[in-house]
Amino acid sequence: MLEQIKNIYFIGIGGIGMSALARWFNTHQYQVAGYDRTPTTLTTQLQQEGIDIHFDDNVAHIPEAFTHPATTLVVYTPAVPAQHKQLNYFKQHNFQVKKRAEVLGFLTQDRFTVAVAGTHGKTSTSSMIAHIIHYAKKNCTAFLGGILQEYESNLILSQEIDKESIMVVEADEYDRSFLHLHPNIAVLNSVDADHLDIYGNEDSVLDSYVAFIKKIKENGRLFIKKEIHLGTNLLPNTVITKSFALEQNADCQAQHVQVSPEAFYFDFHTEDITIQNIKIKVPGYHNIINATVAIAVALELGIDPQQIRDALAVYKGVKRRFEYILQHKNIIYIDDYAHHPTEIEVFLKSVKAMYPNKKITAIFQPHLFTRTRDFLDGFAKSLSLTDQLVLLDIYPAREQPIQGVTSQLILDKVTIKDKTLCGKNELYDFLQRNDTEVVLTIGAGDIGAMVDKIGALLNEKYIQKEENEKTNTQKQIKI
């Protein structure tokens, strides 16, 4: 695929998966450029790294060096609309045009690959695995679906960049992208239905996960969550399968969980080894499960148990995954990317366990009209776990509106009394007028772009005001 290729052009370069690939090629001395619909923090970072990006779907904006089919590879995301002018230009002029998943599959095919699949937990689990490998000073290349706080990047590269690097990737089920991968080690966290606009029904989703498992290389390893039942006859005979779970009988177990506002503690146990008093600062019971399988994978890679413990103790997590924006006695503000009912339920249960005596205000932005329609009852049930709910309008992403599908449908089914619809611009006034203790922003849309402003408002209202009053009181005493 890459013979004679010197230039890589990305359509949708600002996407989290696309940008990691763009960074990899840029690091490997290819000339990289691309298009995205709107500027973001991520596209600004890519531009600062020397990548040429523009935001107008106009063929005239394609740099001259990228107009030669023999030396240019074009990579696009399935979210790009079929009528995209630049995409059609490249297709019509006989360029190599590949989906992101195809390129990722090509890069990993000759390398030892760890692939993390599942409706939930892909980013957190793959990030933990990559962090442990990197901390242990093993050669690692990781393409991640979020920005790791330690590295300020969605791409981890070891200093020695070569084919001996262990590849860690997210195996994305959207558009059946993960079927381009052939992992040595695969992790399966969950198989809940999602992306029904692609799959049509839950059975088709399950079939796709089974097909992914069958892509595991001979004599490979599959780590599968205990609750997932695919049928033993569907699992490859040449693959060693191990289960993992929280406080359940499984091949790899998390036991003796202790919860505090500062950290979670647990013991890791298998038939062969026990690692006691493991500390993770990223909260949530789901992160204990993620850490459990990350430990199991790291042990499979030959990493020393003490290095694993030390690595997890300093792991800071991924931006927008249970990310503390403010942590003060007057106000707690946490931001999370959850956008599926199961993710929201796990997130809210973890927050309630950590702050049982505080009022929890959840601000949720639904993501996609189809997902809202398909999982309406699930959203209503999970969001009813909060004390106060603020619902924003649906973020459409790649979709056109569906008649009758609005956030009001969710609101009507939510069972708590303290609930309201709110526009994005009105949200700041709502927070200014209402008293809050624990504030959560939840969703995969552009709610993430509101976090800094919300944080600044809450900081001013609950933290700076008190500090200013203390300062004034001290001045009066001195006088």
Residue ranges at the known binding site: 118-124
Binding-site residue ranges for ATP: 118-124
Nearest C-alpha neighbor of 364 from the set 400, 334, 327, 338? 338
